[in-house]
Structure 1
Amino acid sequence: MSFIVITGATGRLGGRVAARLASQGVEQRLVSRNASQGVEQRHASRLDHATAVSADYGDRAAMRRALDGASTVLFVSASESADRLERHRTFVDAARDTGVTHLVYISFYGAAPDATFTLARDHWATEQHIRDSGLAFTFLRDNLYADFLPGMVGDDGVIRGPAGQGRVAAVAQDDIADAVVNVLLGVREHEGVTYDLTGPQALTLDEVAGTLSEATGRAIVYRDETVEEAYASRKIYGAPEWQVEAWVSTYLAVAAGELEGVSDAIPALTGHPATSLEELLARGS
């Protein structure tokens, strides 16, 4: 019997997708680095028709075992790391070696070799490797997660970053999960297609701050930083240089207008309107 593989199944997005597929009786294998710690096994035990295996994207032999016999695979991008692109390439090669029939890759909005957001360049390189592999594919390019916008607020109620008055069409993770399930259950209809997944409107960070203030009753503001100030204000985290550059370049991509486009892919794929930030906050996500 063919089955669908869900990678990153203990994560926020992969977990949502796995639960939706289980509710429809779909046979699936959940792949995670955490299965050896029991996390994935406990998750799978709560889902009908699901089994769990442990494998890391960078371990080609382990991934070949994890993907063996799969028809369609949801490839959720790996957690951010200096070697993420190489791990992605290893995973794609394993999928090709095991005869996977279709790869659905969670990419990033505006993925391009010259994207302002540094990690969007890695997503573009991953897409190219998938194209070169000969695998059938669908690319889902997510905008910033609307669910994460509250986390951009500092302890002092300030969102800081060099985004200027640029806009971001942030998308809710539940909407992405709904779209992913639609694609996974009808991959032939989506073969070779790239979808931009966005929210229903593009907001400035001033508008984001205002919406968060109304929803929480807390005074939240946006403070535009210079690039130099942005790097300096993030030194306290002790993060590696590539990570700080990724953080800062996210805001710069907003300033450059690279995240402002609004698409109709969510309603087209799910049959319901994309969730606004107000709606997301109102339901407590």
Structure 2
Amino acid sequence: MTIAITGATGNIGGAVARALAASGTPFRMLVRDASRAPELPGAEVAVASFADADASRAALEGVDTLLMVSGSEAQDRLDQHRTFVDAAAEAGVGHVVYTSFAGAAPDATFTLGRDHWATERAIEATSMAHTFLRDSFYLDFVEDLVGEDGVIRGPAADGAMAAVARADVARVATEVLLHPSEHRDRTYDLTGPEAITLAQAAAIVSEVRGRTVTYHPETVEEAYASRARWNPEPWQADAWVSTYTAIAEGALAHVSTDVERVTGRRPLSLREVLQAG
């Protein structure tokens, strides 16, 4: 079995690459810049980007199982994904493991969840087997929501989210790559152990970091206005704000046991992620 992974220079792909290397499993890393690829035992490097069909086909020749870590946020990300999925199918890849989103749907409130839904459909339209890892929002990102004044601001109301640690997503992905037949054509919802509100998240960050962090619920109009200073493109502003409105409507409140079911280990909590960071 030949394994290939994308995203090896990032958080999840990098963790998977290190886990495969530690297990003694040979694999191929697809990267856009070979100079940034981590040096790991048993790993070979191929250069390709999602948008480059020819390079992707060449890089995926002989690959049985592929971890496709979703691309960086961009207005044309779905087009890039579709190009890469087609290239993988044409190269003869047998099984794609794709990092999707827990709220993936054609009308998902979190706007980027719509791209993930469409990418899943593109994969299903090929002859390749699949495993969809529908990740919730990342616990690792919670602290990044805190402004310089120690306040988390957003229109999340009192909604809760069952955010997941990137480390748990990587552990699930590694397990699937090593035993793909056991996870063929399955969809997993990857969440943390509990659903917490942003007020609760702020309290946990305060306790662990020893500084005061609070949550201020904005209106949707206030949210767009407070983010205008970064001059985002409309699609990016929509994505930022809908992160919070998806929490407000309860779309991310479901707690799944899939992390433990696949890995045999309970998922990390926000407190544990902060303490490890």
TM range (shorter): over 0.9
**In structure 2, what is the Cα distance between the partners aligned to 1:137 and 1:66?**
19
The aligned counterpart of 2:36 is 39
Q: Distance in 2 between matches of 1:184 and 1:8?
A: 15
CA separation in 2, counterparts of 1:155 and 1:100? 46
Residue aligning to 1:14: 13
Match of 1:243 in 2: 236
Give me the TM-score of the superposition, normalised by structure 2: 0.99
Query: What TM-score do you get using the length of structure 1 for normalisation?
Result: 0.96
Partner of 1:30: 29
- The 5 A counterparts of 1:199-238 are 199-238=192-231
Q: Is the 8 A contact 1:3 1:26 kept in 2?
A: no
Sequence identity (%): 53
Deviation beyond 2 Å, 4+ runs, structure 1:
none
Structure 1: 5+ residue stretches without partners: none
In structure 1, C-alpha distance between the alignment counterparts of 2:159 and 2:131, rounded to whole Å: 29
CA–CA distance in 2 between the matches of 1:8 and 1:65?
17
Match of 2:82 among 89, 111, 126: 89
What is the CA distance between 1:110 and its match in structure 2? Answer: 1.4
Equivalence for 2:163? 170
Classify the secondary structure of the residue corresponding to 1:234: helix
CA displacement, residues 123-142 of structure 1 (integer Å, 9 cap, x when unaligned): 00000011111210000000
Q: Which of the numbers 45, 52, 55 marks the counterpart of 1:59?
A: 52
Supply the AA of the counterpart residue of 1:264: T
Give the letter for the 1:98 counterpart: A
Matches within 5 A, 1:103-252: 103-252=96-245
**Cα distance, 1:52 vs structure 2:** 1.1
Q: CA RMSD in A?
A: 0.7
Cα pair 1:161 1:225 within 8 Å, conserved = yes
Secondary structure at 2:206 match in 1: helix
Give the Å deviation of 1:184.
Answer: 0.7
SS of equivalent to 2:125 = helix
Q: Deviations over 1:41-71 (max 9, x none)?
A: xx1x2x1110112211001001001111111
2:250 counterpart (257, 263, 272): 257
Is 1:70 paired with 2:63? yes
Report the secondary structure of 1:96's partner residue: helix
Using the alignment, how far apart are the partners of 2:121 and 2:41 within structure 1? 35
How many residues align structurally?
Answer: 277
CA shift, 1:273, in A, is 0.9
* CA offsets 1:19-49 (integer angstroms, 9 cap, x no match): 00011111111111122xx111xx1x2x111
Q: Which amino acid in 2 is paired with 1:159? A: I
* Structure 1 residue identity aligned to 2:256: S
